[in-house]
Every structure is written in structure tokens, then in C-alpha cells.
Amino acid sequence: MKLEPNGYKIKDFIKGVPITLWLLLLVIIPLLFTFIMSFYTSDGNVIDKTFSLSNYKIFFTDSLYSSILWKSIKLAVLVSVLSIAAAFPLAYLVSFKIKRGRNLLFMLSIIPLWVSYLVRIIAWRSILGNQGVINSLLLAIGIIEKPLTFLLYNQFSIAITLIYICIPFVFIPVYTALEKIPKNLTEASSDLGAGEGKTFIYIIVPLAMPGLITGFIFSFIIALGDYIIPNQLGGTSGIMYGNLIWSQFGFAFNWPFGAALGFILFTIAITILGLTSRFGSTEGGFLSE
Amino acid sequence: MNKLLKQQGLKKSSGLLKTYGVFVFIFLYFPLLIVLIYSFSPTRTIMGMDGVTLRWYKELLQDGALLSAFFHSIIVGVSAVFIALVLGTSGAFFLVKVNFPGKGIFKSMVMLPFLLPGIIMGLTLLIFIRLLNIPLSMFTILLGHVSFTTPLVMFQISGRLMRMGPNYQFAAQDLGANPVQTFWYVTFPMIKTALIGAGLLAFTVSFDEIVISYFLTGTWMTLPVYIYGMMRFGLSPKIYAISALVLCFSLALIILMSRYTGRAGETYKVKNSENKIRNKSNTI
């Protein structure tokens, strides 16, 4: 066999053809088309293909759109912080405190990731609804006389469902980071007289930081781009950036404007992902085995 | 004395942590349980639910459109998995074995469909297929599903390939195997469980997918899109019944998958081949 450590063989690159075609046809060219379309304009049913910046102008001058984006960013940050608050202690518990049944608990923590997204939305609608689980329980006990209406169709219901969706996405990178921490570091720290809290703050948190950043970014992007959850649980006060984009392709039927809104979201996501690959852990964790 | 106090403190804090963990698990699983309970409730409520009923499940079987949506999902899922296995596996071999400038960027770009919000994949694909004048059909949904199942398969397989290292292939080739024989007798058996696991995972994700599919669906609907349509008229008991079935189906797939992926998949395989070797040596 001829070994060419530095030379490239055509045979090797044949393996790369299918994935490159896939990348071009299903990712890059559609993104380019979207970018191009964002400079078109739409007049009802007809798309005017002359180059124009008007979609972006509308976005940046009409405060309606930027305020919805800003509202969505704030909600996404809140969701990410709370998802970390739920997933980080859980990951720490499973990784450091559990000896028996750790694999089972790990599986239990990530199973919701792969279990139907729509079913989980249905579950939260039925928990928070007017005749839902919480209201009927409180009514039955007699704590309230009328159903609580603030539970559903607002930002609260969106946030709680998004947190529910995001927890496993945060858990996996955080757990992966925690598993890499040598267990004798915590022993060393406690031998030197640090309490558990001190060890946690000075040893665990800094070493788990790449995982925490990755988890934060994952949940931020999921929360920012989601449109199904605000559609289902948001009501009128819960119109998020995702709905705004979706509505351009649905009833508003302004595809060029939708393309521009989508491209703005794409830019935000890419910028954040670019930053993560520098500061967070590069391993997605849940993508590889 | 001091140490004792500290240990007690430790116990207390870890007890608190455990309680917190239990609450998170309740938060994760309580909603799923609710769906299951609702699906059996004759009164459409949980409070004052008397008895259980299978009525809603029976109604599902009479809903022709729902059943065909279910079969559509199976068809799209299976097709997407096969295409993704071909694309993802060849891609994994390419990225693990071949070095070229810009490989890092290439890798990140392949991950994009999984990292970007689904709405972006949905709308870019919609714009793409509309500019090409392709009508919305099963084919367009399949394109969407191939877009996100491919990176999923690729990273599962490349994870396995990287842990395997190149030495097995080198050994096979030193012993005179040609590339086809090397693949068929050495590499393929070693990645077989990863292929099954990746396929199951990709199918599970495809079966549940709605964010991208919703953009690419015309009148030919997959199950999640059909259920989503049903939800516009409120949550009927039938929705709970189909949700409960979908839930159990996904759970079964995930549990099956966990046997084939990661270290579990590898030990499973090694155990099997060890047994085979043992059997062989016994017969000798």
C-alpha cells in the first residue's frame, strides 16, 4: 500500500461528495436564497425582485418589530438562566453524589429531549389551562373560586414550557463538563479545609463553565427561535419573534420580509454560536454519542 | 468534633440537593404523566375522574386521516433514516479520515441544521423549494427531514470511528485485505451498533418533528402536523390518546436506542463477539 501522509488522494475525497452535496443543497444554497429574497419586496401576491433595503429599514425603524425581538431576547435569557438553575444542580447531583443507578438517572434526565415536542406542549396546555390540572385542583380544594387566568396565554406559560424543553439541552453539556472533572480535586479541596460550598464555587463552577456556556447558548437559541410554543401557549400578549417570522409565511404572506426577519435571527444565532465555539466546550455532547 | 459537624453539614446539603433533584424530576415527568392520565379519562377531566376508558383509543382507530398521517410519518421517517445513514456515514468517514484545510469550518457548517433554530431551516428550505417551483408534497417534507437527520447520524458514527482509531483498518490492510474487505469484515461490524443506534435516534427525531415540517407541508401531512391541526379546535380527548401513544412509542425507541449507542453499544458488541469466539474455541 502506498502511504502518502501529506498528499491527498482523490479516492478520499469521493467519500466527501455526498455530504458536500447535502450541505450545499439543503443548507448553504437555501440560506443564500433566503438572503437574496430578503432584499426583495412583496406587494400582496407579487414578489418584486428589484434590490431594496426596505425590509431591513422597516425592521430597524418600526419599533414594533425590534421591540418584539427585544422582548424575545429577554425571555430567552430568562429561560436559559432558569434552565441552568434546574439542570446544573441535577447534573451535579447525578455526576458527583450518586453512585448506584447513575446511568439510570442520566437516562431519565435526557429522555425528555427525545420525547415528542408536541406532546410536551399539549401537556403544559392541559396543566395550565382554565380547566387544567392546576385550576381544577385549586378549585376542588377551595383555595380559589374562579379559575386563575394568568396561567395560560401569556409569557409565563411560554417561559415554563420553554424551560421544560430546554432542561435536557442544558443538562447534557453541563453533565459532560462535570464528568471531566477529576474527582480527587474535590477531595483535595476538602482536605485543604474548604467546605462543600466553597469547593463548589471555586472548583466545580469554573471547571463546568464551558458546559454551562454551551448549555446557555443551546437553550437561548431554542427559546429565541421557537414559534410553536408561543403559537400554542402565548395568546395575544405572547407574540414572540418566532411567531412574527412565521406569520410572514402564513397569513401576512410577505415572504421577503419574513426572509429578512429570518436572516436577522440567523445572524444573531451564528454570532452567538461563533462566540461559544471560542469560549464554550466545542463538543456538543448530545450530537456525538 | 469540628469534622463531625462538617460531615453533618455535608449530609444536610446533599440531602437538600437530592430533594431539589427529585423536584426537577417531578417537573420533567409530571406533565407526561398528565397526558397519560387524561387519555384514559372518561370525563375529560382529572379531578372527579371516575373509572378509566379506552373509548378515545377506539376513536383513534376510526379516524382514517389520523391513521394515514401516522403511516406518512413512518414512511418519511424510514426514508429519511436511510438517506441520512448513507449521507451521514460517508460524511463521518470523510471527516474522520481525511484532513483538508477548512475542515473545522466544514464541520461546523454540517452541524448547522441541528444548531440553528428549526424555524430558520424551515423557512430557508421553503424559500428554496418555492424558487425551484417544487410543489409542497411528501418529497419536500422528506428534504426537511434529511436536513436534520444527516448531522445526527454523522456525529454518532464519527464518534464511534474516532474512538475506534485507525489501527484496526491498518491491521486488516497489512494482512492483505482490500478496502472493500476491510470495510465489510472489520469496520462495518465495529460500527454496526452505532449505525442501528443512529438510525433509531434519527427516526425518533423525525417521527416527532414539527417545527421544520410545518413549513414544508402541503396537504400530505405527517402525524405531528396533523395533531397540530387538531389542536386548533382545543384539546380533545382524542389528542390525549394519540399523544399517549406517541409518547410510549418514542420511549420504546429511545430505550431500544440506548442499547446500541455510546459505550453500551460497544460493550454489547464486544460481549457478543467474545461469546462467538468462545463458542468457536469450544467447538475446536
Q: Does residue B56 lie in a domain region?
A: no
Q: Region of A41 please: left (phi>0), alpha (psi -120 to 50) or beta.
A: beta
> Taking the CA atoms of chain B, what radius of gyration do you get in angstroms?
24
Q: Does residue B188 lie in a domain region?
A: yes
DSSP per position, B20-45: HHHHHHHHHHHHHHHHHHHHT-TTS-
Taking an 8 Å cut-off on Cβ atoms, the answer to whether B9 and A27 are in contact is no
Number of H helices, E strands in chain A: 15, 2
What pLDDT, on the 0 to 100 scale, is given for residue A97?
87
From the list B230, B284, B240, B201, the residue with the least C-alpha distance to B52 is: B240
Q: Which helix (H) or strand (E) holds B184?
A: none
Residues 122-181 of B with CB under 8 A from A: 123-128, 130-131, 143, 146-147, 150-152, 154-156, 158-160, 173
pTM: 0.89
Q: Which three cell numbers stand for residue A237?
A: 400578549
Residue A42, helix vs strand vs coil? strand
Nearest to B120 among A167, A225, A277 (CB): A225
What pLDDT, on the 0 to 100 scale, is given for residue A287?
42
Please give the domain boundaries of chain A with CATH numbers for all domains. 56-279 (1.10.3720.10)
Taking an 8 Å cut-off on Cβ atoms, the answer to whether B150 and A19 are in contact is yes
Q: Does residue B2 lie in a domain region?
A: no
Taking an 8 Å cut-off on Cβ atoms, the answer to whether B231 and A232 are in contact is yes
Taking an 8 Å cut-off on Cβ atoms, the answer to whether B32 and A115 are in contact is yes
From the list A54, A289, A255, A146, the residue with the least C-alpha distance to B153 is: A289
What pLDDT, on the 0 to 100 scale, is given for residue A47?
82
DSSP per position, B188-229: HHHHHHHHHHHHHHHHHHHHH--TTHHHH-SSS--HHHHHHH
Which residues in chain A are closer than 8 Å to B197, comparing Cβ atoms?
Answer: 289
What backbone phi and psi angles, to 5 degrees, belong to A234? -85, -35
Show the domain range for B257.
63-283
Question: Chain A contact for B14, CB < 8 A?
Answer: yes
Taking an 8 Å cut-off on Cβ atoms, the answer to whether A19 and B262 are in contact is no
pLDDT digits (tens, 9 = 90+) for A109-161: 988 888 889 999 999 999 998 778 888 888 888 888 888 888 888 889 999 99
Kindly identify which residue of chain B lies nearest to residue A265, measuring between CA atoms. Answer: B120
Question: Chain A contact for B111, CB < 8 A?
Answer: yes
- Sign, CA torsion B216/B221/B224/B226: positive
pLDDT digits (tens, 9 = 90+) for A214-266: 999 999 999 999 999 999 888 888 889 999 999 998 777 899 999 999 999 99
Give Cα A194 distance to the centre of its chain. 36
Residue segments in chain B with a per-residue pLDDT below the cut of 50: 1, 268-270, 283-284
Nearest chain A Cα distance for residue B275, angstroms: 25
Spatial separation of the C-alpha atoms in residues A83 and A86, rounded to whole Å: 5
Q: What is the largest CA-CA distance in chain B?
A: 80
Spatial separation of the C-alpha atoms in residues A191 and B5, rounded to whole Å: 15
Spatial separation of the C-alpha atoms in residues A255 and A204, rounded to whole Å: 48
Q: Does residue B4 lie in a domain region?
A: no
Pairing of strands A46-48, A41-43: antiparallel
Residues 221-280 of B with CB under 8 A from A: 224, 227-228, 231, 235, 239-240, 243, 246-247, 250-251, 253-254, 258, 261-262, 265
Q: Does residue B244 lie in a domain region?
A: yes
Taking an 8 Å cut-off on Cβ atoms, the answer to whether B201 and A123 are in contact is no
Q: Which residues contact A278 (CB under 8 A, 6 or more apart)?
A: none
User: Is the pLDDT confidence value at A288 over 80?
Assistant: no
- Sign, CA torsion A250/A252/A253/A255: negative
Per-chain mean pLDDT for chain A: 87
| C-alpha distance across the termini of chain B, in Å | 66
From the list B74, B75, B76, B65, the residue with the least C-alpha distance to B216 is: B76
Nearest chain B Cα distance for residue A34, angstroms: 6
What pLDDT, on the 0 to 100 scale, is given for residue B1?
46
- Sign, CA torsion B251/B256/B259/B262: negative
Kindly list the distances between the CA atom of residue A261 and the CA atoms of A3, A71, B31, B72, in Å, as whole numbers in the listed order: 51, 15, 33, 32
Q: Does residue B103 lie in a domain region?
A: yes
Q: Does residue B192 lie in a domain region?
A: yes
Query: ipTM for the complex?
Result: 0.89
Nearest to B117 among A127, A222, A277 (CB): A222
What pLDDT, on the 0 to 100 scale, is given for residue A89?
95
- Is there a contact between A244 and A55 (Cβ–Cβ < 8 Å)? no
> What CATH number does the domain containing B137 carry?
1.10.3720.10
* The CA-based dihedral angle spanning residues B135, B138, B140, B143, taken in that order and rounded to the nearest 10 degrees: -160
Q: Does residue B43 lie in a domain region?
A: no
Q: How many domains does chain B have?
A: 1
